[in-house]
Amino acid sequence: MNKFGIRMAVTAVACSALSLAACWAEDPKSSSDAKTAAPAAVAESTPEASTAAPAAAEKQVAEAPAPAVVAEAKPAADAPAAAETKVPEPAVAAPAPDAASAPSAEAPAAAPEAKVVAEAAPAAAPAAAAPAVETAEVIAPNPVNDFSKTIDGVEFKEGRYRNKDGEPVPVVTKDYQVDWATWQGFRRYHDACHVCHGPNALGSTFAPSLADSLKTMDYATFYGTVVGGRVAERGGTTYVMPAFGEDKNIMCYLDDIYTYIKARSTEAMPPGRPNGREDISQYAKKAAAECNP
């Protein structure tokens, strides 16, 4: 190779190197410009965005709380009004301790009045309860009396049940509860009469059956026989009925004995003790006390 060629080669290499250097010099600038521009863009966009974002956030915060505050404040303002309309606020009574302390002097005066009313109420309660007890006694059920109302011509008069002629009659229910007179006659008969006339008025070897006799004997005949006595001849045997007109143990209860024997004669009452009885009337109690004190 000649010198000219060498020089051309060197020159070409140098030009290439210069071109590369020049390109290199331009590239960093452009890259730096790009880098500078990018941050600038970022810097420009970021501050604006950051500035706009807080501004928007502040605007939202400024606007959002305002309705919230208004919305909360509005019910809060309305609530006391409703509360004051329906129920008085305790705050209204609380701010007046002086007024509360002033009536305290009158409170003891009102308390005795309430106490007097409370003490007077028990005193009035027994008075109201008394009529209820009396009413219960008056309307107490009486099956014997109820049954007597189903018998024609029978009424309760002067302490016993009587027919239209005023004669004593027995009243026996279907379950064998009896009136007081029939109950008393059952007791008196078995105390004084059954020795001769047998238990349940069925008779004995000493005296006839009164249950059979009263099927045909009327009240007046029975009464006269007991009071004055009787003598009868039967089959060659003399029967003597003693007179009991002076015996108060018989005469005071003769009507009762009659009603018992009459109940047996009509078979309204079976042999034995009655299943129950009604209470004695005040009239019958007084009559028995006066006849046999």
How do 160-162 and 155-157 pair as beta strands? antiparallel
Q: Write the DSSP string, 139-190.
A: T---HHHHHHTTSTT-EEETTEEE-TTS-B---B-TT-EE-HHHHHHHHHHH
Chain-centroid distance of CA 272 in Å reads 46
What domains can you pick out in the chain, each with its CATH number?
182-291 (1.10.760)
Residue 196 token pair: 């001769």
Residue, of 61 and 258, whose pLDDT is higher:
258
Is the pTM here over 0.75, yes or no? no
For 214-259, the pLDDT digits (tens) are 999 999 999 999 999 999 887 888 888 999 999 999 999 999 999 9
Residue 206 is predicted with a pLDDT of 84
Residue 167 token pair: 């004669």
Residue 277 is predicted with a pLDDT of 94
The three-class DSSP label of residue 251 is helix
d(CA 79, CA 87): 12
Residue 141 is predicted with a pLDDT of 72
Whether pLDDT at 70 is above 50:
no
- Identify any residues that bridge with 155 across adjacent strands, giving them in sequence order: 162
Which residues contact residue 67 at a Cβ distance below 8 angstroms, ignoring those fewer than 6 apart?
A: none
| 132, 133, 171, 204, 226 from 137: Cα distances, Å | 9, 6, 22, 44, 38
Tell me the residue type at 134: E
Which residues contact residue 105 at a Cβ distance below 8 angstroms, ignoring those fewer than 6 apart?
A: none
- Closest alpha carbon to 189 in 173, 170, 174: 170
Whether pLDDT at 200 is above 50:
yes
- Closest alpha carbon to 154 in 238, 65, 262: 262
Residue, of 86 and 209, whose pLDDT is higher:
209
